[in-house]
Amino acid sequence: MKKLGIVLAGTVLLAACGQDKAELKTDDQKGSYALGFVSAEQMQQLGVLDKEAFMAGLKDGLVENAEGQLTDEEMEAALQAFQQRVMEAQQEKMKEAMEQQQKDMEEAGAKNKADGAAFLEENAQRDGVTVTESGLQYEVLASGEEGAQSPTLDDTVEVHYHGTLPDGTVFDSSVERGNPATFGLKQIIKGWQEVLPMMKEGDKWKVVVPSELGYGEQGAGPGSDIGPNQVLIFEIELLDVKGDE
């Protein structure tokens, strides 16, 4: 029988089809078993696989010069239809995953917003805390020399910083890395753009950034500890104003 050009992942697997235990002594046997096992797992994840029919087709196909139960044309049409169903099933799963991700994000955002508002209200009552018109809060921990330079939005600065969430989670820290960070003020979050020009070289401030001055409703993205509507806490030490670089 003429072999079809369409090949689905996993159609060459389970050479010991129908046996409870396969002999796995040689490298070829072990490799064949591993291929079969992994391929079977992948095939099951498709969600539209009829296992009994699949195993029957596999068994027939492993017989040399075997005649299948379908003609080449029927197989071609069946595979095309099957692939279409697989694609639709995968798209549906992807849609469901995205909807769940959006739901989780909205729930996390609502919780972070409520928790953040409570934290900001409580922190604002602490001695030494100043609240700006935008809602940003800061506390002076150490002061540089009188008359030291302050940056503008056009400047590049060198800073040490330690960033945490209200629950104490450290999300970023040049202090822990042991290397100060250098960046232009136009490249950073709004909260930093507001507070750094208020500081001078040598100053060290504790700064609480409301979410709208940080990463907002979207958070900092996949893999980050900074979720949606997350209040951010920084200890920032302004080491050097490098000017417009």
Condensed to tens digits (0 to 9), the pLDDT of residues 73-94 reads 998 998 899 889 888 988 998 9
CATH code assigned at 200: 3.10.50.40
Query: Which positions are annotated as active-site residues?
Result: 161, 171-172, 189, 215, 234
223 band by pLDDT with thresholds 50, 70 and 90 = confident
pLDDT at 114 over 80: yes
pLDDT per position as a tens digit, 162-220: 999 999 999 999 999 999 999 999 999 999 999 999 999 999 999 999 999 999 999 99
- What value does the mean pLDDT of the chain take? 88
**Nearest alpha-carbon partner for 197 in 151, 235, 163:** 151
Tell me how far apart the alpha carbons of residues 110 and 243 are, in angstroms, rounded to a whole number.
Answer: 40
Predicted confidence at residue 15, as pLDDT, reads: 39
Tell me how far apart the alpha carbons of residues 69 and 75 are, in angstroms, rounded to a whole number.
Answer: 9
pLDDT at 95 over 50: yes
13 found inside a domain: no
Contact assessment for residue 123 and residue 129, using Cβ atoms and an 8 Å cutoff: yes
Tell me how far apart the alpha carbons of residues 229 and 105 are, in angstroms, rounded to a whole number.
Answer: 10
Predicted confidence at residue 8, as pLDDT, reads: 42
Residue 75 has phi, psi (to 5 degrees) of -65, -45
User: How many distinct structural domains can be found in the chain?
Assistant: 1
105 found inside a domain: no
- Give percent of the chain above pLDDT 70: 91
Residue range(s) defining the domain that contains residue 215: 129-243
Tell me how far apart the alpha carbons of residues 41 and 43 are, in angstroms, rounded to a whole number.
Answer: 5
133 found inside a domain: yes
Q: What is the pTM of this model?
A: 0.68
pLDDT per position as a tens digit, 119-163: 999 999 999 999 999 999 999 999 999 999 999 999 999 999 999
21 found inside a domain: no
What lies within 8 Å, CB to CB, of 173 at 6+ separation is 161, 162, 163
40 found inside a domain: no
